[in-house]
């Protein structure tokens, strides 16, 4: 089947590493805090869909003008982002994604517009996926940036310095891509690597709830404010330690199904950012504080 006719494939996915690196065989791009998106477009047609196949044409109508950029059938791969205070805001993008009312969508289009950041091109009158990344980048380069369409910038070889700069700016991290990588649909590859700029912080374990594979623990900060919950697997030695803590029969914070602890037990959680209300975004349990 011609790739442009195939509307069901999953974009090439990334592996993950913890440590940035330098390598002249790689380019390094910003990791945008947005929604991975494929755009199928020709001068008379456009389909915007996320990696799960959900159509986004009505959600982000400001992107429909991307049709004007092309003269033939094209597939762009990239990310939809919403800028706030100078950097991408996933929280505000989520608000946009949930809107169904046309009047509200129109208000947000005017006041909180999104941008499509293109970092690859998979089709331009023909299938380009067997070309190297840098050959595809050259083809992508001829499409002009505008209000709703921009091409990602990249640096070659110097991943460590680039990562450290994103960390200073409070951005999500970097993507490393091998220059010779072909585009593999429906696959996760080690030739594209995400290196996230996550935060590690300690929190009190306020309580736990039993789950199929272990427990979900409630986290509170030093001011006794709830910030989120993380999973601890039964195979983790900390599981028994947490469950062995004395019970608090008069908790101030209540969450359905939880057993509350009378303990000063603290743990490390790794997370991406804080939400507007102070909650942890995508927290991961990293062990007890000794």
Using one digit for the tens of pLDDT, what is the confidence trace for 126-158? 999 999 999 999 999 999 999 999 999 999 999
Domain boundaries, the chain: 3-196, 199-288
Rounded to an integer, the average pLDDT of 92-106 is 90
Fold adopted by 199-288: OB fold (Dihydrolipoamide Acetyltransferase, E2P) (2.40.50)
**Residue 168 banded pLDDT, cuts 50, 70, 90:** confident
Rounded to an integer, the average pLDDT of 74-102 is 89
**CB 81, CB 33: distance < 8 Å:** yes
Domain 3-196 maps to which CATH number in 1.10.10.10, 3.30.470.30, 3.60.9.10, 3.40.720.10?
3.30.470.30
pLDDT digits (tens, 9 = 90+) for 27-50: 999 998 899 999 999 999 999 999
Q: What percent of the chain shows pLDDT beyond 90? A: 74
Q: What percent of the chain shows pLDDT beyond 70? A: 100
Residue-averaged pLDDT of the chain: 93
pLDDT at position 274 is 85
The greatest distance separating any two alpha carbons of the chain, rounded to the nearest whole angstrom, comes to: 69
Do 3-196 and 199-288 share a fold?
Answer: no
Rounded to an integer, the average pLDDT of 80-86 is 89
């Amino acid at each position: 089947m011609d790739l442009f006719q195939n509307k069901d494939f999953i974009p090439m996915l990334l592996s993950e590493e913890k440590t940035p690196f330098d390598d002249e065989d790689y380019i390094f791009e910003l990791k945008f805090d947005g929604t991975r998106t494929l755009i199928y477009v020709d001068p008379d047609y456009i389909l915007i869909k996320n990696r799960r196949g959900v159509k986004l044409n009505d959600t982000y109508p400001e992107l429909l003008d991307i049709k004007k950029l092309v003269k033939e059938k094209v597939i762009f791969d990239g990310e939809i982002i919403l800028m706030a205070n100078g950097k991408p805001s996933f929280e505000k993008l989520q608000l946009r994604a949930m809107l169904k009312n046309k009047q509200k969508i129109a208000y947000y289009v005017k006041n909180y517009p999104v941008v499509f950041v293109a970092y690859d091109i998979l089709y331009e009158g023909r299938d380009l996926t067997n070309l190297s990344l840098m050959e595809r980048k050259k083809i992508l380069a001829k499409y002009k940036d505008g209000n709703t369409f921009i091409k990602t910038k990249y640096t070659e070889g110097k991943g460590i310095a680039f990562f450290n700069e994103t960390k200073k700016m409070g951005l999500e991290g970097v993507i490393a891509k091998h220059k010779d990588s072909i585009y593999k649909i429906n696959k996760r590859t080690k030739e594209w690597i995400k290196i996230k700029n996550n935060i590690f912080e300690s929190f009190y374990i306020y309580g736990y709830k039993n789950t199929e594979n272990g427990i979900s623990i409630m986290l509170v900060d030093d001011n006794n404010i709830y910030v989120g919950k993380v999973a601890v697997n039964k195979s983790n030695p900390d599981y028994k330690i947490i469950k062995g803590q004395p019970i608090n029969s008069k908790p101030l914070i209540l969450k359905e199904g939880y057993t509350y602890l009378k303990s000063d037990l603290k743990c490390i959680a790794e997370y991406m950012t804080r939400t507007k209300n102070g909650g942890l975004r995508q927290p991961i349990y990293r062990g007890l504080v000794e």
